[in-house]
Structure 1
Amino acid sequence: MRRATTSARALRLGLIALIAAWFGTLPASAQSDEPGCRPDMASLRLPIQRANLERTNLAKDEVRLTFVGHATFLIETAGGVKAATDYNDYIRPPVTPDIATMNKAHSTHNSRNPDPAIKQVLPGWDPTGAGAAKHDVTMGDLRVRNVPTNIRSYSGSTDFDGNSIFVFEIGELCVAHLGHLHHPLEPGHLRALGRVDVVLFPVDGSYTLDQEGMLEVLKSLQARVMIPMHFFGGGTLNRFLTRSQELWPVERREQPVITVTKAGLPARPTVIVLPGH
C-alpha cells in the first residue's frame, strides 16, 4: 500500500512539473490585456479532498475564511450563508456551499460536476461566449458580484473576459478573490472593485501574474488583510514573503481559519499566511 501511494504521489508531482515546464516557456504577463495560461487538467482525476475543520457559530458582523487549498476558500457569514471560491472537482470545502464561484483557467478552478445542492453556481466567464460574465447575487447577508479579467487560452491567444475577480460583501466588509489573475489592474478594474478590506491572491508567479506584478496589484488595492493562495510549496511562498515583508508585516497562523470583522481589521495592511498549498 505504501509503495502504491508513493507511486501515485510521484505521478502527480511529475505531471505538475511537466505542465510547469511547458507553460514556463510562455511569456510572462506584462499588460492588462495579457491573461494567464489554461492547461487542460481534466484528465488528472484525483480524489476529491475535503478539509475537516470544526465549525462554530459566528457573532454578528463576523466573517470566517477557511483556506481549503489551492485557490479555494470557504467564506461563511454570521447569517449562515456559505460561499466557496474556485469550486472544483479535486478540493472542496467540508460543507456544501450555498454559492460557488468558478474560474476558467484550469480544471482545478472549476467543476464539471458541481454539487446539485448548491443554490447558485457562478462561472467567472460566459459559457456561451457572448461576452463577459455578469453576476450580482444577494443571499441573506452576503452579496457576490464579479469583475471580469482576461486570460491566455490554451493555444496562447487572449481569451478576453475569460475569468473574474469575485467580490464578497458582508455588511461593511468587502472580500475580493483575485482568482487566476494574470495582468495588472487598470483604473477601471479598481473602480469596479471599490474598497477592498480582505484580498485573497495567487503568489505562484508563473501560472498567474509574476510576483513583482502581484506586489503592485496589492499596493493598488491597499487591503488591510492580504492572504496568499495558489502556491505549490514553501519555496514559492517564501520567495514572495521575502519581497513583501519589506513593505508589510507578515503573520503566520497555525490554523487555516481566520475570523475577521470590519472593526477588527489591522491598523495597517498585513499579510496573513494560512497553512495549506
Structure 2
Amino acid sequence: MKPQLLILAIACLVPLALPRAAGAQDERKPVSQCQAIAQAIPKARFASFSREMPIVRAVSEGEDVKLTFLGHSTFEIETPGGIVIATDFNGWYRPVVTPDVVTMNRAHSTHYTLTPDPAIKHVLHGWSDVPGEKADIDLMVGDTYIRNVTTDIRGGYGAAQQDGNSIFIFESAGLCIGHLGHLHYELTDAHYTEIGRLDIVMVPVDGGLTMGADSMSRIIKRLRSSLILPMHRRGPPVQRFVSMFGKDFDISYAPDDTITVSMRSLPKKPLIYVMKGAQ
C-alpha cells in the first residue's frame, strides 16, 4: 500500500475507535473505598479509619454528613452535596423534604412501603422479587455511592428466607455508613468481607424481633465502628444492649435526635451514641 493511502486508512479508523473508548469509560462502576483490600483473608477484622484519611481522596473542612433519627429504623442522611436519604423507609417517618433516595427491607411492614411518593427518584429494595436472585444495589447518586450486602431473614414457621434483608452502605465525604436493616442472623466471614470498613453503623437493639443483644453486640464488636447508632428499640430497654460493652466503648445519651459527623470529627474511641428517640 502507498504511504499516502496508509495514512488515510489510519485516519479513517481513529474516529471510529474514539467513541468506543469513551463509552467504555462511561460504563465503569464506582469503586468502594470502604471494602478492605485483602478481601480473601478469613476472619478479618475491619478496623475504623477514624484516625486516618480515606484511601481515595482527602476530605476538606466542612464536609459534614448529618444523621437524624426519625423513628424505628428510619434515619435521614444528608450529605455535603445535599443528597437526602431515608433508610428502611415505610412512609410513616419522613424527612422534612422529599428524599432523593429511600432504602427498604421487607421483614416487616414497618420497614417498607409499596406506595412510596412518586417524587422519590430512587426507591431501593433490599430484596429481589425474582426467585433465587438477590438484590444488587450499585448506585452513584450525587456525592454518594450506595451498595448493599444481603443477609437471610426468618420466614414462615421459622424457616430462613435467603437474601431477604440488605445491609445498605452509603459512602460519602470519605465516610463509610452502614445500616444493618432487620438483621436476624449473625454475620459470616463472607459478610464481613463484603461490608469492609464501617465508620458509622445503625444497629437494631430490640433484642427480639431481630437478634438478641448478645449476638448483636458481637457483630458491633467485630465491626468496631467509630460511631454506633442504636435503632429499632422495642421491648427491652436500650440499656440491655449497652450493657454488653466494656471499657473499649464509650456511651453517650444524646439530648436530641441529630448528629453531624465528618472524617475529622469521628470519635477516636468507639462511641455508642443513643439518640433521643431511641432511648
- What TM-score does the superposition give when structure 1 sets the normalisation length? 0.76
From 178, 181, 193, the equivalent of 2:180 is: 178
Provide the C-alpha distance between the structure 1 equivalents of 2:62 and 2:249, rounded to a whole number of angstroms.
29
The alpha-carbon deviation at position 219 of structure 1 amounts to 1.0
Alignment-derived partner of residue 122 in structure 2 = 120
Distance, in Å, in 1 between the alignment partners of 2:268 and 2:112 is: 35
Cα–Cα, structure 1 residues 209 and 168, in superposed 2: closer, same or farther, change >3 Å? same
Q: Is 1:91 the equivalent of 2:78?
A: no
Alignment of 1:232-251 (within 5 A): 232=234, 235-251=236-252
Q: How does 1:1-277 map to 2 (within 5 A)?
A: 60-232=62-234, 235-277=236-278
- Does the 8 Å CA contact 1:66/1:74 hold for their aligned counterparts? yes
Displacement after TM superposition at 1:243 (Å):
2.4
**Which shifted more, 204-213 or 92-101?**
92-101
CA distance in 1, matches of 2:253, 2:76: 19
Superposed CA deviations along residues 100-145 of structure 1, whole A, max 9, x for unmatched, are 0000110000012111111111100002224110001111101110
Q: 1:231 to 1:149 in 2, by over 3 A?
A: same
Q: 2-side partners of 1:173 and 1:164: how far apart?
A: 19
* Alignment-mate amino acid for residue 248 of structure 1: F
How far, CA to CA, are the matches of 2:156 and 2:88 in structure 1? 19
Q: Secondary structure at the match of 1:94?
A: coil
* SS of equivalent to 1:240: helix
How far apart are 1:246 and its partner, in Å?
A: 4.8
Deviation at 1:238, TM superposition (A): 1.6
User: What secondary structure sits across from 1:244 in the alignment?
Assistant: coil
Superimposed CA distance per residue, residues 130-180 of structure 1 (whole angstroms, 9 cap, x where no aligned partner): 411000111110111000000011332110000100000003100000000
* Contact 2:91-2:113 within 8 A present in 1 as well: yes
Structure 1: gaps of 5 or more residues: 1-58
CA deviations over 1:186-209 (Å, ceiling 9, x no partner): 111111111110000000011001
CA-CA distance at 1:247 after TM superposition: 4.3
Contact in 2 for aligned 1:89/1:112 (Cα 8 Å): no
Quickly say closer, same or farther: Cα 1:276–1:141, change in 2 above 3 A: same
RMSD of equivalent CA atoms: 1.4
Q: Which moved more, 1:242-251 or 1:145-154?
A: 242-251
Larger Rg: 2
Deviation at 1:252, TM superposition (A): 1.2
Q: Give the unaligned 5+ runs of structure 2.
A: 1-60
Could you tell me how far apart the structure 2 residues matched to 1:60 and 1:142 are?
16
